[in-house]
Amino acid sequence: MSTFADFRTQAQTEGTRTILVNGMLTGSGTVEITANKTIRGVGANSGISGTTLAIEDMSPANVIIQNMNIRGVPGRDAIGIETATHVWIDHNTLSSTIENHPDFYDGMIDITRGSDYITVSWNVIRDHWKTSLVGHSDGNGGQDIGHLRVTYHHNWFDRTFERSPRVRFGETVHVFNNYYSNVNNNADSYAIASLENAGLLVEANVFENVRQACWSASGYADSDPGRLVARGNSLTNSGPCETNGSVAALPYGYTADNVETVKASVTAGAGAGRL
């Protein structure tokens, strides 16, 4: 696809297809991606700006967004996953600007309303305030409890000043082998928050110049505490990763990289153009 109009048509048309995005496309409004779509950028410099990519009301969605440059959208989410399962966000570069007010943009990758089985891997996310919200409100436990199982691995969060991620209710959310840098805009900056009895395993991540690595037992803002188990993380010039309680076992097998290799691996391999 080399025009936004073609991209919207193909993404919203029912049926299985791979959509190759060639160049930077600029649009507006929301693109409602239908099930069984792979959206992949061509080369290192393709992607989309000005529009929300919405993945909603599908189980399974079977949607992949890969190798794209994606810009934050003023007033809205860049990628919104809502009441959807089986989504993979991989090897993208997502950015906005932190010079604007924190509410100028909304989320970069928000996962809400009972979504499940979501993987966010090998992305670069930089210069953004409200990065990735898992569970949209303190009052939505009835829909979210038992869901919101999300894995974040090998992402580079650079100057993302909150919500990387902020989780309500989800269990188990697995955050491992990510690199966090310069999350220190002000006294409220933080990387990860487990709230409203969410269960997070935060494992073998690298935190450099992060004001607060994790919140859990203290809660955050108006949200009640969550549970968080931390193991094998590296913190340099960073506030602590607060822990609290225990979390449910993961439903999959995996091998985490040694934390000493994570920064080099992520900075070399994450983002668009690195497949």
Helix or strand (DSSP H, E) at 10: helix 4-12
Show the tokens assigned to 87: 């989504």
Angstrom distance (rounded) from CA 135 to CA 120: 15
One-letter amino acid at 2 equals S
Is 163 designated active site? yes
Closest to 176 (Cα-Cα) out of 109, 119, 218 = 119
Q: Using DSSP, state whether 234 is helix, strand or coil.
A: strand
Assess contact for 170 and 150: CB atoms under 8 A: yes
Element (H, E) at 141: helix 141-144
Task: Tell me how many degrees the CA angle 148-151-156 measures, rounded to the nearest 5.
Answer: 130
Segment holding 19, helix H or strand E = strand 17-21
Identify any residues that bridge with 241 across adjacent strands, giving them in sequence order: 214
Q: How far apart are CA 160 and CA 181, in angstroms?
A: 8
Tell me which of 126, 163, 166, 211 is the catalytic residue. Answer: 163
- CA dist list (Å): 70 to 25, 108, 163, 241: 10, 9, 18, 29
Tokens of 149: 């199982």
User: What whole-number distance in Å separates Cα of residue 41 and Cα of residue 45?
Assistant: 8
Pairing assessment for the beta strands 63-66 and 37-41 based on DSSP bridges: parallel
Helix/strand/coil for 253: coil
Active site residues: 163
